[in-house]
Every structure is written in structure tokens, then in C-alpha cells.
Amino acid sequence: MSEEGAVVVLSGGQDSTTCLFWAKQKFPGEIEAITFDYGQRHRIELESAGRVASIAKVPHKTLPINTFNTLGGNALTGDIDVSSELDSESGLPNTFVPGRNLIFLTFAAAYAYQRKISNLVTGVAQTDYSGYPDCRQETIESLQRSICLGMEYDIQIHAPLMWLSKKETVEMAHSAGALEAMAYTHTCYNGEQPPCGDCPSCKIRAKGFAEAGIDDPLITRFHGFKNA
């Protein structure tokens, strides 16, 4: 078993890209990236993930999950508009797919199991605005235990961004050498490229880069240096 390698769940966004480069620095063994094609409305995420993995020079596997679309009823996979309002009943954003992250990490663990790799890395953050309950530390710790028991396999889930602000995440991306790849990440909730700049996701990203005093390579790629 490779206790030295890691499987990184790579969505093609800013956070998971940061984690991929973080993992390359942290683990001496083989790093692999895994991306889920779960019917996301913004197919550009998959292209971004492939591009990022290629820049990082790591093997990249895309796993399909056709189940969420059949479950239906949310803005990221369905035809419902993304709303900035929270659901009046659940208090969650309507982009919430119940259990999505539980499923991703369990499939990623199954993949790691087969590859005999014992570290999993995910870009979830409790400090994230979205408040998804499956991104919280307590959930991740419980899920790690469930996976270890359910697969009889000693896997460790790392969530290096869990307690970081967006500013600190940008600083980590910088020190991990992720900025070149960052130019090809996709974060915009409206699926636009260049990013719309108006959705909560774009705004939080912009704020993080501004606070870190670093130009966002994605913006630079489309609009040139803002601070030049």
C-alpha cells in the first residue's frame, strides 16, 4: 500500500486545484486526480479539471455518476435557476445536492482502495460561504470512519482548506505553485468564461485574490493585468 501517495478530488475549481498542488508538495508518492462527471450543468468544469491535471502532470481519471440527475431537483444538475436565496425550508442554497460530497468521497475512496493509495484530498472548507453540511470537519471525520469501517481500509481524508479564509487559500495556491494552473480553473456559478464577476462564487474568489494582493491568473488571462 502506498501511504505516500494521494488521490485528489479535482473539480476544476480554485480550491481543488490548490489542493492538487498542495498534495504534490506534501506527499512524496504518486499523486492522482479524480473528477466526477455527475451531469453538472457547466461542462466546462470537466475541461478545466483535465487542463489543471495536465499542467500539474498528474494522472487524471474522470468517473461518471448518472445518479444525481435521476434524483433531480437542484440547480447544479437540473434546469432550475441558481438562486442566491436560501431554501425557505432547509435553509440551504438551492445548489445543494443532498449527500453529494459524501458520494464523491466514497467513490474516491473506492478508487484509492483499488490503487492501493491511502490518502484522499478534498478542497472542502468549513469557512466557505455556502454552508454545505457535507463540507464540514465533523462530517468529513465521520465519513472517514465510515469508509475505513466499510472498506476495511485505512484511509485518511485531508481537507487542507477546511479552516482557511479565501485569502489564505490564495496564499497557499501561490506557495504551492498552483498559479499557472489557476488560469484554467472554473469557479463561476453561472458557468461563464470569462467569469461573470457577479455571482457569489466570483465575488468571493475576487475578494480572496484582492486580499492576498495577488492577481487572479484567470482574470489576467482574459483581461490582462489589472494591477499592471
Contact residues toward a copy of itself (CB under 8 A) are: 63-67, 70-71, 73, 90, 92, 97-99, 101-103, 106-107, 109-111, 113-114, 133-134, 136, 138-139, 142-143, 145-147, 149-153
Least separation in angstroms between CB 108 and a copy of itself: 10
Least separation in angstroms between CB 204 and a copy of itself: 22
Cβ nearer to a copy of itself, comparing 111 with 191: 111
* 3-state SS, residue 200: helix
Q: Which residues pair with 36 in a beta bridge?
A: 63
Least separation in angstroms between CB 109 and a copy of itself: 6
Task: Let me know: does 173 contact 136? Beta carbons within 8 Å.
Answer: no
Cβ nearer to a copy of itself, comparing 126 with 165: 126
Least separation in angstroms between CB 47 and a copy of itself: 19
Task: Let me know: does 15 contact 188? Beta carbons within 8 Å.
Answer: no
Cβ nearer to a copy of itself, comparing 68 with 184: 68
Taking each continuous run of H as one helix and of E as one strand, the counts in the chain are 9, 5
Three-state SS across 65-97?
CCHHHHHCCCCCCCCCCCCCCECCCCCCECCCC
